[in-house]
């Protein structure tokens, strides 16, 4: 991926998305003609996986004057609580107004990437697809899915997220299609008829009938073209259990459909993933929604540590540059 | 507020922010020439305050053909878990692709509004300002702050949020301004010199010196023009305590500055608000950040309950229209 | 019910089921020619519903000489911890060997009756049938079911229990019948064909297909003759949920089968019963198995309090008769 | 022990102790002339020690026609949750009605054996005697004590249990004997006078006097003939403590009675056994009552897995034979 | 009681028991000739019962020059956390060195009085005697017992404490006396022979024999002269239980000794007292040891609030006099 | 240290601080002319560090007649629960009355030493000074500080404690001195002017200004003569945090004051000490107050085990001498 692919939004560049007090601070300094070179450091409030830095650097490249200096960790790199992930040395008025955007981009993107990583680690190699776009505002659905992929997901369901991450969007079929058509097998056959061959055939089998019965029906109807069945049993019906996965596997195998995978979704989180693995359920893929998309952002704090070349800091912080050998110069 | 002020983003309208499987479902149906009138109902996974509905309705107004019917609860109305908040009856292909956007807008906005409401209720009349823009992606900073105000905050710090909510943005001054200038009193004086008279003078007093000492210094420097001091003591220094508020109040009063308010920020949430109130700390305003901005979205689920006028539903749901007398027809 | 219907087992009367040390004690006393009138009191270790007393009194009537005196609470009466429920005044050697049988009968029967009562109270009028015979040894299956009915169940599944309690045995159909026949509808039709008209038609609907789908199939096949469907979803499939009951109810009603009841079984206990009631699931009957049949017996202790007319007691007990106005003379 | 010693009760063989629905199922099949060879598998709901299998096999030998096949684990063998312990392949109508008896026998007997095993393992070689007959119905007192011995107890107190297990019944003396005679020493002397020499002399020393004082009195009275004292201090007096055992040991030793053992009873369970061992109390034997006799049965489930040679199963179970190499063919 | 009875110890008056830094502070001020009138306030860290104030005021009366002013709460008065209990206005050098002694006296004495009060409130009128002298250093045994009586105990066992509190010391007899004499009855008879008639005869009955048996023996030996028996069963024997008290009461009553009280000791604290009362044990008196004597002191803090008539305070405290209408002028 | 330095207080020697019942027991025995040689053993109720033994032995040396024998553990030695730490063999009447004083001295002194040891072990070499004199009665302030030093503290603040332990008393300066003088720097300069050169210059820096600011001011004023700053931030201001220590260290170092130590006090206990160490706060000394001074005493029990050469004991104890090879003969 190239750094410059993140388009900087005009509302961000204009400062409209900023906290008013940063804008006022820059205004006051400019009215007084004060604009010293200042060093700002940014650090997180808990451990995680860094994401959003590419977008932040795209913004800074547009904003900072020449001779500025920026050091940063890389997109996808892990960080520790309080570790400096970004250090900017430049005339304060050139970047002061972006403190809001920098912190917010890193906070939410790193939160998403970190949650994705937890699922990926729990799954021990079973692929995970980000399914959470429908729990976040559409303006950030794409960047959320992009972050999930930075965190280790193999794919995502939103078109915008897949575009940002330069992968093909993934998904099965919605319950709505089956309900409109009235039958899972019919929906599966039409899907198979119209979709390009490179789109995997994954049938959603919990809409009308028992999951095991429906799995056998679609396996018979699509034969070798069926890639997988998707179990998404709702809480009202006891959610997907490890035993259900095992039973569907056994019944598919008895029917000669060993090639059909079993994709599981519905309230999946690291605990649920571990539950399936500990109970040896033969899951071939997980769809994770709100555990990733609804995670609490990782708050980032920005502090000035030098002004005009001299160490300084507010109470509670250490004056001067905080050493971090992992930082690399990026601007 | 007028409904039409929510501009519909082109990427949302084009379906680019949608889950791919909704797009594929609509494509398949259209290729088959199937497009029955279908009724979709949307309900939340927990109790809360509805927000995002205005934005959703702006989208539906653009998308739905004539003779469609939409029933909804109002922006800011409270809802119960599983209560239907939105019901759309229209040809399925006209809105099926927007299930992602509808759910995501309601989920995140209602989450923010509900968290704000919790703070507002805990504060028993003490005004609360949303300060969380720096913890969310700048593309949603405005809509987050707008939602916080729908939930009951009296103001917000982001310029874009204030614009959406049609209020003036609020804030004090950043630590950065004080650090650049090297002294809290000097920063306060310059702020006072340059800002229009309608901007309240609130000095941030924990940057360099003891908060009580600094409060007395700025109170002396600005006299009657000082509106409030803001206590934002960092965790490294033990955060703001109820006793600190009481002491600053007592020392300001001893110095004749009874008119100066005390605004408190830093890790504020309903528990902390109750702590201050139970300990009778004379706080005059709270700034709340990540408790509101970082709240987990309230997941919304969309289900088809009628197709072609006949009751139907997937397993786990009840076929047919779910009655809710609170719904009002909006389209 | 008449007291004499409890047949005394020869092995009990002969002392073969006794603890050897009681037999030895009586042997020693008899060899020494010592046989004073002694008063034994029996009390429980926790609160409960008395059961087994009828069987105990049948034994004592056979064992005690004339002029003996027995006071007792009634079958089905509630008792408090440490309340005397039985007092025997008779020559010690005539009953000493039965201390084991008396304690054991009261302990297990009262345990079962008490557990049944807890379910009955939780169910607030919804009838409960004892289904636990398959979790206890067949020699006590009948007396267990009898005790459950003393505790408030309206019926039981074991033939022997129903005989003891003078009710008709109840049950639906086993999964085995459906599996042998290969289809739930066929099994239901054969059941309907062969069973006498007074046996209720209750179809077990979780064997092969989705419970809601199967309910509609049997309702259509048996029409007005169908009394109820029984939901017994196994843990591997998430057990019966309140939402499943509501959905089956709604789908049956939509299909015009409002007359069909919904009987629920599978791991039912007072907590589960309360869960269904609190969630307003329209259950018309519960089958309770191991919560009743597997309950821990209520230990009973027997103590001598008078020997030869004089108060005496072992350490830890109060010498002399313990007053209890609820006792009635029964022998 | 020979397999055939378990007498099959007529009421069990006649199906009277069965659940009515099994009887009805067999009746319906017979009326239709349907009786396929079917394979039923039985598995437990938690880990344990198998008991009751000998009794079950005695029943099956009487019930099954020639050419039937039965595979089983052995009496006393340990099993895991969900492990198949019994597999019957025979015409269904020959055994269907016994599902209740098979499950109940295994459930309760395995529960007792498993609880006994827990005590035996906690005791690390100190012998344990089953004392719980007085907490269960006399009809199962014997089979309970038999099961405890299968689980590892060295003996039991009920005459019927000892007979089933082919051991000599064990016990000390009841409080009643001492209370009738008015003195522990006198009771001990009469016991010694009348009991055959092979019955151990164990005096119960907590009836009237301090346990240590009484121990010294009986030790002096019986001299070398005294085998042990039994401590059974009631809860009203603080139960038996490890310190009491140590003190009685020390005082007996000071008095030259090193040969006298200390047998402890009263509320003994694995935790209490571990408490005595961890505190180095020199206990020489434990009597365990309701921990064994009052244990919750281990529920067993029976499922058909093949009918007419074809794999089949109800929802939630895997069709076909479940492999278990530990099974041995027994019929 | 008169205020002046507390003798001021020379080591306290000389400042030898003080923290060195208070002495150095006063030395420095005196070398500089600085000695302003200063107001010191003293407040506790938690709620409690004030004790030690009489001793503190005895010290201040000796130390303060004329024209000093002291306001205080009274001995035995209850106070709230952070409530000012003492305010001294005097030249600082006259009392500065006593801050250690003032705080320490109030801390430990108030701790003891507060713990005693908790026991007294739990006992609902049953008298309590302080028995804890053997758990504190002999130099404070008296002042500890005095404080317990201020807290509500009716008496104490130490001679020095009784003297301070102007009551007669109380006690029964030690185990040592009985062990030396070898028999409880003999010890009781000699006690009765030699002690003046106004000393109550309370026999300690757990030394050699069972408590109930021994109670009957001493009751028979002393007849109407026996005032009470004392139960002090050690933990090794299960401590005193409510049932033991009830049994001893019943056996004494059966023997015609209704006039004999039952005094209970051994690990008594408010929870144990409530346990006896809730179980309706007929206790006539409690002896409380380490719950009172071993309580954590209630820390007191002393702060200067005015110097030379001007409000001042260290950070964290409010400058100026803290109003408390409960204070009375005492010097 | 020599054993004889503990002066025996007249009130202790006279028996005035004793429990009245010990005095009465000795009186009775003497009136009867009974005074056998008796062996008393003393043991603690929990593990700890022995302290007070020197004082106890000083008393026994005065009290016991010739030919008495005393075995004991040493001052500062660790002991286990129930381990005998003292054994006296002597005519009972010569020491019986001192059971109260012996137990109380060991209980409180061992409690203090044990609490001190816990802090010392947590601190891993960072020196600890006992600062708790102001939380105990002045009569025991010295012996408390002495015990803390036996437990491992390097010093103490009370003059009397330092005298007993033969060390120099330690301390910094009280807030009172700074408040009287109105400025921390002025107080520090006067302290430096008047105190002998061997008294370390430690400035208390939380009185009026921010701790970091004040640290820099006193470091500048005293230069190389400043030994340390003391952080004692009150709870009202969030207490001392690890981050504060680090920040003060960093700011002092930036200012060239690497030689200045950082001494921390205020609510210090082993958990807080571990918190500072785990967070790598560069503390150079801790002051511990009420954790040591307010510890619950370790109860000691005294029992007679031989009288007239014969083993004896009360119920619950083992007659005869309890072996303990760690005991050494001291009298």
pLDDT tens-digit series, residues E62-90: 999 999 999 999 999 999 999 999 999 99
Cα-atom radius of gyration of chain A, to the nearest Å? Answer: 24
Cβ contacts of E236 on chain D, cutoff 8 Å: 241, 243-244, 247
Closest residue on chain E to F235 (Cα): E316
Q: How far is CA A66 from CA A57, A89, C167, F292, in A?
A: 14, 11, 96, 61
Q: What is the pLDDT of residue F5?
A: 61
- Asked if the model's pLDDT at residue B294 lies above 70, the reply is yes
CB pairs under 8 A between C and E: 16
| Mean pLDDT across chain A | 96
Residue of C213, C235, C244 with shortest CB distance to A236 = C244
- Asked if the model's pLDDT at residue E4 lies above 70, the reply is no
- Asked if the model's pLDDT at residue F235 lies above 50, the reply is yes
Taking an 8 Å cut-off on Cβ atoms, the answer to whether D315 and A212 are in contact is yes
Write out pLDDT tens, residues A297-316.
999 999 999 999 999 999 99
| Residue D319 touches partner A, C-beta closer than 8 Å | yes
A212: nearest Cα among A174, A155, A250: A250
Closest residue on chain A to B184 (Cα): A314
Question: What's the whole-number mean pLDDT along residues E136-150?
Answer: 98
Closest residue on chain B to E312 (Cα): B251
In chain E, the percentage of residues whose pLDDT exceeds 90 is 96
- Asked if the model's pLDDT at residue A183 lies above 60, the reply is yes
Assign A6 a pLDDT band (cuts: 50, 70, 90): confident
| Residue F183 touches partner E, C-beta closer than 8 Å | no
Higher per-residue pLDDT: F2 or B248: B248
Cβ contacts of C11 on chain D, cutoff 8 Å: 138-139, 160
Assign C5 a pLDDT band (cuts: 50, 70, 90): low
Residue of E9, E96, E236 with shortest CB distance to F176 = E96
Question: What's the whole-number mean pLDDT along residues C51-71?
Answer: 96
Q: What is the pLDDT of residue E5?
A: 61
- Asked if the model's pLDDT at residue C3 lies above 50, the reply is no
| Residue B45 touches partner C, C-beta closer than 8 Å | no
Quote the tokens at residue E19: 């923290």
C-alpha span between B272 and B118 (Å, rounded): 12
Q: How far is CA D329 from CA D3, D44, D325, E192, in A?
A: 14, 19, 11, 83
| Residue E243 touches partner C, C-beta closer than 8 Å | yes
Residue B227 contacts residue B204 (beta carbons within 8 Å): no
| Eight-state DSSP code of residue A158 | B
Write out pLDDT tens, residues E18-38.
999 999 999 999 999 999 999
Taking an 8 Å cut-off on Cβ atoms, the answer to whether F247 and A311 are in contact is no
| Residue A210 touches partner D, C-beta closer than 8 Å | yes
Crossing angle of the two packed helices F99-123 and F138-150, in degrees rounded to 10: 50
| Residue D78 touches partner C, C-beta closer than 8 Å | no
| Residue B208 touches partner F, C-beta closer than 8 Å | yes
Q: Do chains B and D touch (3 or more CB pairs under 8 A)?
A: no
In chain D, the percentage of residues whose pLDDT exceeds 90 is 96
0.90 cut: is pTM over it?
Answer: yes
Quote the tokens at residue C281: 């699931």
Chains touching chain B through at least 3 C-beta pairs below 8 angstroms are A, C, E, F
C-alpha span between A42 and A100 (Å, rounded): 12
D305 to chain F, closest Cα gap in Å: 60
Write out pLDDT tens, residues A162-171.
999 999 999 8
Assign A5 a pLDDT band (cuts: 50, 70, 90): low
- Asked if the model's pLDDT at residue E297 lies above 90, the reply is yes
Question: What's the whole-number mean pLDDT along residues F56-68?
Answer: 96
- Asked if the model's pLDDT at residue F114 lies above 90, the reply is yes
C-alpha span between C150 and E327 (Å, rounded): 69
D245: nearest Cα among D219, D215, D200: D215
E316 to chain C, closest Cα gap in Å: 51
C88 to chain B, closest Cα gap in Å: 60
Taking an 8 Å cut-off on Cβ atoms, the answer to whether E246 and C316 are in contact is no
- Buried b vs exposed e over F225-261: b needs ≥16 C-beta within 10 Å? ebbbbbbbbbebbbbbbbbbbbbbbbbbeeeebeebb
Taking an 8 Å cut-off on Cβ atoms, the answer to whether B315 and C210 are in contact is yes
B188 to chain E, closest Cα gap in Å: 24
| Residue E207 touches partner D, C-beta closer than 8 Å | no
CA geometry: angle at D319 spanning D318 and D325, to 5°? 75
Assign E172 a pLDDT band (cuts: 50, 70, 90): confident
Q: Does residue E76 sit in helix, strand or coil?
A: coil
Question: Which residues are paired to F137 by β-bridges?
Answer: none
Q: What is the pLDDT of residue D3?
A: 46
- Asked if the model's pLDDT at residue B109 lies above 70, the reply is yes
Chains touching chain E through at least 3 C-beta pairs below 8 angstroms are B, C, D, F
- Asked if the model's pLDDT at residue F262 lies above 50, the reply is yes
In chain B, the percentage of residues whose pLDDT exceeds 70 is 98
| Residue C209 touches partner B, C-beta closer than 8 Å | no
- Asked if the model's pLDDT at residue F113 lies above 90, the reply is yes
Q: Does residue C303 sit in helix, strand or coil?
A: strand
Residue of C213, C235, C241 with shortest CB distance to A237 = C241
| Residue A255 touches partner D, C-beta closer than 8 Å | no
| Residue E309 touches partner B, C-beta closer than 8 Å | no
Closest residue on chain D to E211 (Cα): D210
Q: How far is CA F82 from CA B259, F113, F324, in A?
A: 66, 18, 11
Put residue C152 in one of left, alpha, beta given phi > 0 → left and psi -120 to 50 → alpha: left
Q: In chain A, what is the straight-line distance between the N-terminal and C-terminal CA atoms, in Å?
A: 18
- Mutate one of C314, C317, C320, C322 to test the D interface: name it (highest D CB count within 10 A): C314
In chain E, the percentage of residues whose pLDDT exceeds 70 is 98
Helix (H), strand (E) at residue E130 = strand E128-130
C-alpha span between C158 and C132 (Å, rounded): 9
C-alpha span between F262 and F271 (Å, rounded): 19
Q: What is the pLDDT of residue C236?
A: 93
Assign A1 a pLDDT band (cuts: 50, 70, 90): very low
Taking an 8 Å cut-off on Cβ atoms, the answer to whether C104 and D137 are in contact is yes
C-alpha span between A107 and A98 (Å, rounded): 14
Say how many C-beta atoms besides its own lie within 10 A of residue D250's C-beta: 18
Half-sphere exposure of F232 (CA within 13 A, CB side): 22
Question: Considering only A87-91, E5-9, F226-230, which range has the smallest mean pLDDT?
Answer: E5-9
| Residue F93 touches partner E, C-beta closer than 8 Å | no
- Asked if the model's pLDDT at residue D7 lies above 90, the reply is no
C153 to chain A, closest Cα gap in Å: 28
F231 to chain A, closest Cα gap in Å: 15
| Residue A78 touches partner B, C-beta closer than 8 Å | no
| Mean pLDDT across chain B | 96
For residue A48, report the phi and psi dihedrals to the nearest 5 degrees: 175, -165
Residue D212 contacts residue F281 (beta carbons within 8 Å): no
Assign C160 a pLDDT band (cuts: 50, 70, 90): very high
Write out pLDDT tens, residues D161-192.
999 999 999 988 899 999 999 999 999 999 99
- Buried b vs exposed e over D305-329: b needs ≥16 C-beta within 10 Å? bbbeeeebbbbbbbbeebebeebee
- Mutate one of C7, C27, C93, C137 to test the D interface: name it (highest D CB count within 10 A): C137
Q: What is the pLDDT of residue D213?
A: 97
Q: Do chains F and C touch (3 or more CB pairs under 8 A)?
A: no
| Residue E212 touches partner C, C-beta closer than 8 Å | yes
Q: In chain F, what is the straight-line distance between the N-terminal and C-terminal CA atoms, in Å?
A: 17
- Asked if the model's pLDDT at residue D313 lies above 70, the reply is yes
């Amino acid at each position: 991926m190239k750094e410059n692919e993140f388009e900087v939004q005009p509302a961000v560049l204009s400062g409209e998305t900023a906290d008013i007090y940063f804008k006022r601070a820059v205004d006051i300094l400019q009215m007084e003609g004060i604009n010293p070179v200042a060093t700002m450091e940014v650090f997180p409030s808990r451990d995680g996986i860094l994401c959003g830095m590419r977008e932040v650097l795209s913004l800074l490249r547009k904003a900072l004057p020449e001779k500025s200096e920026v050091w940063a960790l890389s997109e996808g790199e892990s960080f520790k609580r309080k570790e400096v992930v970004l250090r900017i040395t430049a005339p304060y008025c050139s970047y002061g107004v972006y403190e809001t955007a920098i912190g917010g981009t890193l906070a939410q993107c790193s939160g998403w990437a970190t949650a994705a990583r937890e699922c990926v680690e729990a799954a021990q190699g079973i692929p995970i697809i980000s399914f959470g776009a429908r729990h976040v505002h559409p303006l950030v659905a794409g960047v959320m899915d992009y972050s999930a992929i930075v965190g280790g997901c193999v794919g995502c369901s939103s078109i915008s997220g897949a575009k940002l991450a330069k992968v093909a969007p993934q998904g099965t079929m919605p319950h709505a299609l089956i309900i409109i058509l009235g039958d899972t097998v019919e929906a599966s056959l039409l899907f198979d008829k119209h979709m390009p061959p490179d789109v995997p055939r994954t049938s959603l089998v919990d809409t009308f009938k028992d999951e095991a019965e429906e799995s056998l029906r679609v396996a018979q109807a699509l034969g070798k073209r069926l890639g997988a069945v998707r179990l998404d049993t709702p809480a009202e019906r006891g959610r997907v259990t490890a035993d259900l996965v095992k039973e569907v596997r056994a019944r598919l195998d008895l029917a000669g459909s060993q090639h059909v995978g079993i994709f599981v979704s519905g309230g999946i989180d690291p605990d649920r993933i571990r539950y399936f693995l500990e109970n040896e359920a033969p899951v071939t893929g997980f769809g994770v929604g709100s555990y990733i998309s609804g995670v609490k952002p990782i708050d980032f704090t920005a502090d000035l540590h030098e002004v005009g070349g001299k160490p300084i800091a507010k109470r509670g912080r250490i004056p001067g540059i905080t050493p971090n050998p992992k930082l690399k110069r990026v601007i």
